[in-house]
Chains A and B, each alone.
Chain A
């Protein structure tokens, strides 16, 4: 019934969808297997994409021809560039999407791909022969053959949902859990762990009093995620901000004795940075209020999402407490919040390509690797999809460096450090934040995947080249064009900047704090004239390159310094056990994790600088 596939992707969430697209873009024939074709690309938690650090990841995924950015652009109801007041490294795009449109658009884009087939069924096992994956087995007892398999099971593996004292199996509200895969992987020698995450109640927007809340509108000039020309956002929906209060906390406390969190029924470790409301009330008892974001679920629905009120308390406690929140006095719930426990596989069992060490051509991506977040999942899917294709064709893998992409940081952290709680990306995890900006992901990454042989990149590559040249031309203009005191002193006086005493280059004026290219362009007609031929995006890049040149250079110097370790390869078969000079822990960790470079080795917890020095010496450095 089935042909033999190059790649089978199990699961059609953010990770699985990107994996299927990436493998197909590389040229593989792909089968996407999901338990339910109606829930492809569900936003299981809040209806938003991006945010601080996560927005950068979506841009990186887009730069590598992933679809998350395009789908978001087509379906968003609000766009904001966060952190505008901070430096360009912190600017982070974030969008609210229409949940239903988002899933529909994803499915439409997947269906448009001739190399992607679909099958709706639960995968219950893998076909593994001779240490190599050969396909999957389904609940109906079918065997489907492939050269590679990518598991993106999200929260479905032995998922258990908790609401108060009730608990039942399930991968998501209203959906079954998946069984069989974990058990087989344990038999194959995989280590498995449990994690926990949660989601807040969904409520009826018609029952809310928005007058009692703060309005948070989108940006006046909304941006977008894709580097391609996705349609601009014409109108937007606002979000709302409100707060809990002591009365709310009092009601929540009444339910603590029935909370699966506090009674110990949930054993999995949840994310510290995304705590449930009961956790917040318990751990930060001194705080009188906690912020809640009320987010619209879409253009044509009254459903709303209460960000910040994730809970697994009994539904009646959730309901009662919500009613004491300003604006929520008459609230009606569509469904209560819940906590979900699921299996994950400690990611230190993976290579930096996301292939498992134990089974050849078997890849893991997304939440089963212990991450949280759509963006974190999506980018792993993309990398696994590319590397699955590369692996079956014996081509070099794509392993991004920490200095190249947030994705590089994420995967490097996962496979070398592992994670005990659900891993979320933060900008602080990246050492070279100013190099990994949302405005330059295309320059950083599109050429890389182009070189690997990914198809359909002609337009993106042309734009990358155009952008690079434009930025150079603009920079040249600023370095060569002079400005005289009489042209600009009036403006400088307005903004409290020291007046010029003689003609200087525009460049030196731009370098002053609080002086922007846009402002110069408003005051100086010849600058406006020149810049008008370029897209705003290009001007922005040139401006960042000039204004932050010192910082960019300093960070590049650090990269070079660190890269000396990154460039020292460690032989795959290196016998760490024989190096008595290594600490016992380092010997064990290095033998288990088999880093490819000294740089990777240096980030493994338990491997000390002295151990690295030992390796350096042994490698004859």
Chain B
């Protein structure tokens, strides 16, 4: 992937997103960053300027002014990459930015590869693996919560938690090892009950972190909420009401929505992807049949089912039958009791059952926007869940999750081994594996393919 010489190159890339903007930034990093910048820049001699300063001047190409710019200087090692970094803030024309990059290349820089700035930051010890991964997340963050999560991870929140777990295990392991290596000497043996409690405590912590993964993932990836129900239940009206715009065509004719429509709505910092679907009924024609098929498929791919029913025309039994048919095991369910404007006397309790608890039924009039706030609150609570709060560290990275899972499996083997009375040295073996797995998360165990994997997930210039 990278060769020896690559990392000694000075690299350059446009650091702002493509498209026109008021300003655009070109970033230069490496041993030659200052000389290259100095060669382009007309203003002060950058070599003599202190780090962390801004300078006004022009960039010239053979005497011709390309742009007026502000140059930011960040000298090694106190820079993002740990190398000398120069940032040109130019006017946001793609042509100008491109030209500045070309000039840098002409003076000896090389175009950066995806993620290379962060790779260098990692290699120079400016951040650990979880922090580097967080940078990728931060850049991709689409909602406030996702952003918050990435910031937390970047500041080392996850590493800290994992290290704490790891240290407890190392402590445990050392107790066991003491017993093994000094069995002939007069050592006091570790209290088995205490050891078991420690293992259980660590497992509990590991599992708490694992449980946050669903939330973390929801925050990072967004939540798929599929809107389903019988024809004419008001699904499209609900979608429009949630979005605050007429996105879907609505009519009184059952089966108006043939294809699915997806739109993203941010609710309190979490990106909900609402998917309006064709009504479920015995199809009248082939196109509709395909639509129904597609609805079922969409439901299977979603995290949340918003089942919409017409409170004026459906009986409790019909509602339950629908839910049984639609709701997959692994998903959260909210029943939207629509058209309450027509039947103000109906109450959620009229439709509640063991399958559908009353608090999962939200009375709404999609048409005049009644009950929407409550619906949004319920949706948010469903995803965040009562037991996980943002005060906790949240696992949002599948690599972390898998490592935790493997560590937990190894610890489960320790616990069951203790119950079976297997020899201590074999317990120690599984504890060590757990320690190794946890170490992989923070990069304390160096595994080369991890790097490839992590750094290929970056976008250029970041």
Contacts and interface: CB of A to CB of B under 8 A. Distances in A.
Interface of A: 51-53, 82-83, 85-87, 89-90, 94, 273, 290-291, 426-428, 431, 433-434, 513-514, 548, 551, 554-555, 558, 561, 564-565, 580-581, 583, 602, 608-614, 616-621
A610 B448 contact: no
A428 B120 CA distance: 36
A290 B425 contact: no
Contact of A602 (B119, B426, B446): B446
A614 B184 contact: no
Interface string B409-431: 00000000000111111101110
B106 interface: no
17 contacts: A52-B180, A52-B183, A52-B184, A86-B180, A87-B423, A87-B425, A90-B425, A426-B177, A428-B180, A565-B446, A581-B123, A614-B123, A616-B446, A617-B7, A617-B119, A617-B123, A620-B4
A618 B443 contact: no
Interface of B: 1-4, 6-8, 31, 76, 82-83, 119-120, 122-125, 128, 174, 177, 180-186, 420-426, 428-430, 432-433, 436, 443-448, 451
B180 A609 contact: no
Contacts of B119: 617
B425 A82 contact: no
A614 to B, nearest CB: 5
B7 A83 contact: no
Given A613-B122, A613-B123, A52 B3 contact: no
Given A90-B423, A431-B432, A52 B123 contact: no
A239 B16 CA distance: 78
Q: Quick one: which of B82, B182, B422 has the most chain A CB within 10 A?
A: B422
Contacts of B7: 581, 614, 617-618
Given A433-B428, A614-B123, 11 more contacts: A53-B181, A87-B423, A87-B426, A426-B177, A554-B429, A554-B430, A581-B120, A610-B124, A610-B125, A618-B3, A620-B1
A616 B423 contact: no
A555 B410 CA distance: 12
A616 B180 contact: no
A610 B122 contact: yes
Contacts of A620: 1-4
Contacts of B124: 581, 610
Nearest to B181: A426
A260 B177 CA distance: 32
Contacts of B443: 609-610, 613
A427 B425 contact: yes
Contacts of A561: 447
B180 A427 contact: yes
Given A87-B424, A554-B433, A617 B445 contact: no
What 7 A-B pairs come out closest when comparing CB atoms?
A87-B423, A428-B177, A291-B186, A612-B446, A426-B181, A86-B423, A609-B446
A153 to B, nearest CB: 28
A90 to B, nearest CB: 5
Contacts of A548: 426
A614 B83 CA distance: 14
Nearest to A581: B123
A398 B82 CA distance: 40
Given A86-B425, A602-B446, A613 B451 contact: yes
A431 B424 CA distance: 15
Contacts of A555: 429
Contacts of A428: 174, 177, 180-181, 428
A87 to B, nearest CB: 4
B180 A90 contact: yes
Nearest to B427: A87
Contact of B425 (A433, A564, A617): A433
A406 B420 CA distance: 29
A108 B445 CA distance: 49
A609 B444 contact: yes
Nearest to A280: B186
Given A610-B125, A610-B128, A614-B123, A551 B429 contact: yes
A584 to B, nearest CB: 10
B125 A618 contact: no
A564 B452 CA distance: 15
Contacts of B420: 513
Contacts of A551: 426, 429
A562 B436 CA distance: 11
Given A427-B425, A621-B448, A291 B120 contact: no
Nearest to A89: B425
Contacts of B446: 565, 602, 609, 612-613, 616
A427 B429 CA distance: 12
A558 B436 contact: yes
Given A52-B180, A433-B429, A616-B446, A87 B422 contact: yes
A609 B445 contact: yes
